[in-house]
Amino acid sequence: MPVTAIVGANWGDEGKGKLTDALAGSSNYVVRFQGGGNAGHTIINEYGKIALHLLPSGVCSPGTVNVIGPGVAFDIGDFFAELDDLLGKGVPAPDIRLSERAQLVLPVHRLFDGLEEERLGERQFGSTKKGIAPFYADKYLKLGVQVADLYDDDRLLERVKAALASKNVLLRHLYGKPEADAEALAAELRRNRERLKPFVCNTTELLQEAWRRGESILVEGQLGALRDPDHGIYPYSTSSSTLAGFAAVGAGLPPYAISRVIAVTKAYSSCVGTGPFVTELHGAEAEELRKRGGSAGEYGVTTGRPRRVGWFDAVATRYGCMVQGATEVALTNLDVLGYLDEIPICTGYRDASGTVTTEFPVNRLLESAQPVYETMPGWRTAIDDVRLFDKLPAEAQAYVLRLEGLIGVPVRQISVGPHREQLFER
């Protein structure tokens, strides 16, 4: 059975969690392959509204195995806080497996995240301060601590000392802060290791075997294509690859196993954090869309920050779907646009010389790009009860078909509300 990837076509917050939650019931495995607790998925189901950060979105589906793969930035404290919160909401204890090769986000990574944003001042990246950038920096500097290291005291101390050596120089001389103590940090990491142990295993063998047996596997991305460090709006990107292509690496599956790539996009645009955002709205128009968007307005799940909102950007979405290798698109939040008489769609970017392009440019040019809009008639009615494409108002059908034509990838799923059942196939 092919592995399905659910990934973001844009800047994140496209509604991937809702789609994964909806599809998880028919999946044997749901796998996180990158990122950490620095973004959030919102899912709404029989247990209420649940914000997930580090846990895979299959945790509410009994019988689904939830895998945290080697590519994830794993924070022990966040993991247990999120798990306890979930259990507190009445969700039965989910089946979770954590890769022994995943690496640990250390308290010192969080500290550095905050200190670095403070040092950058106005030039800061709008980090969620979860330690993700310092974590991945250490991983590629070969200074990371793997989950397996928790169970070998000497090795753990040795790894922690290696991680702290250069950081202590920076703490003292760049940031003017006290040094971190290796023994104390190792002791802190050891504190929850016994509780963690039952979750830890070789998830690569587990998934490869499941795949060979033909079981159904969903890999879920965090954030979106435009936050990818190689293909996104660098340096306003995240620190791990958000692309379906990386899912094979971060989960531990053969690259050719992932043959269905669902790129999730909203029917308008939203973006948390800094960086160029060509169709961004401001003032009353933005406030109206922000208030109506998502399940409770467009405010970040992890940070609570108001999300930047704008009209649908076909240039960015076509590009996002291309770099994801999307085989289909899931369009979410179509219901949100029901208040508009007319709906603008950005079909091209105009550069400083007046030339219009449909190609997504590098950041240097993106920052001065101006949106070129066309306008479609709105449908001015609620569509959250609709479950068939043909039952959508003609204007809503035309809007979807126009987006599909511009993106160049078939829109197969349409979401008309935040609840699990407010979703249909076309």
Q: What residues are labeled active site?
A: 13, 41
Among 58, 71, 320, 418, binds ligand GDP (CB under 6 A): 418
Q: Do 217 and 211 form a contact (C-beta atoms < 8 A)?
A: yes
Asked if residue 416 binds ligand GDP (CB under 6 A), the reply is yes
Among 69, 252, 275, 294, binds ligand GDP (CB under 6 A): 294
Cα 375 to Cα 339: distance, rounded to the nearest angstrom: 15
Q: Do 10 and 330 form a contact (C-beta atoms < 8 A)?
A: no
177 sits in the region (left: phi over 0; alpha: psi -120 to 50; else beta) called beta
Shortest Cβ 424–ligand GDP spacing (Å): 11
Q: DSSP class of residue 129?
A: S
- Residue count at the site for ligand GDP (CB under 6 A)? 24
Shortest Cβ 39–ligand GDP spacing (Å): 6
Cα 198 to Cα 50: distance, rounded to the nearest angstrom: 24
Q: Which CB atom, from 82 or from 116, has the smaller least distance to ligand GDP?
A: 82
Peptide bond into 306 cis (omega under 30): no
Q: DSSP class of residue 52?
A: E
Q: Give me the 10-39 binding string for ligand GDP, x by CB under 6 A, dash otherwise.
A: --xxxxxxx--------------------x
Q: Which CB atom, from 144 or from 310, has the smaller least distance to ligand GDP?
A: 310
Cα 225 to Cα 7: distance, rounded to the nearest angstrom: 8
Q: Which CB atom, from 110 or from 307, has the smaller least distance to ligand GDP?
A: 307
Among 335, 349, 407, 420, binds ligand GDP (CB under 6 A): 335
Q: Which CB atom, from 149 or from 220, has the smaller least distance to ligand GDP?
A: 220
Q: Do 286 and 293 form a contact (C-beta atoms < 8 A)?
A: no
Cα 207 to Cα 69: distance, rounded to the nearest angstrom: 10
Query: Considering only CA atoms, which of 273, 270, 318, 279 is closest in space to residue 298?
Result: 270
Asked if residue 336 binds ligand GDP (CB under 6 A), the reply is yes
Residue 410 is which amino acid? P
Residues within window 364-403 making contact with ligand GDP, judged by CB under 6 A = none
Q: Which CB atom, from 46 or from 122, has the smaller least distance to ligand GDP?
A: 46
Interface residues with ligand GDP (CB under 6 A)? 8, 12-18, 39-42, 44, 294-295, 301, 332-333, 335-336, 415-418
